[in-house]
Amino acid sequence: MSTKQKPRPSQHGIRASKYYTSRSDSLSFQAQTHRHRDANTDENLEKLVEEVQRIYRESVPGETTPGKRKKHEEVARSFDRARLREKKQHSSKKQSRRAIE
């Protein structure tokens, strides 16, 4: 399977894999430990699954902790408060420019 079909975060992991083949830009698995082709095919499939899981664990970040989530919410709230304060100041500045009749 070509890396062009993979999500960007996993491309680096694929290219760093010991099974990576640069000529075809893909992962290549080969097993000759068993006398039967089906057994070797099953072993290759297991290697593929293990490698994809390893790449996923290395490239995809874990779940956000409650502390980080709370901090992000606080930052977003303070940003909103500052934005609203600026809007009110701008509005009052424009209001003071109006001619009183």
Give pTM, 2 decimals. Answer: 0.48
Backbone angles phi, psi at 21, to 5 degrees: -115, 110
Band (64; pLDDT cuts 50, 70, 90): confident
Q: What is the CA radius of gyration of the chain?
A: 28
Give the least confident one: 4-8, 61-65, 71-75, 77-81.
Answer: 4-8
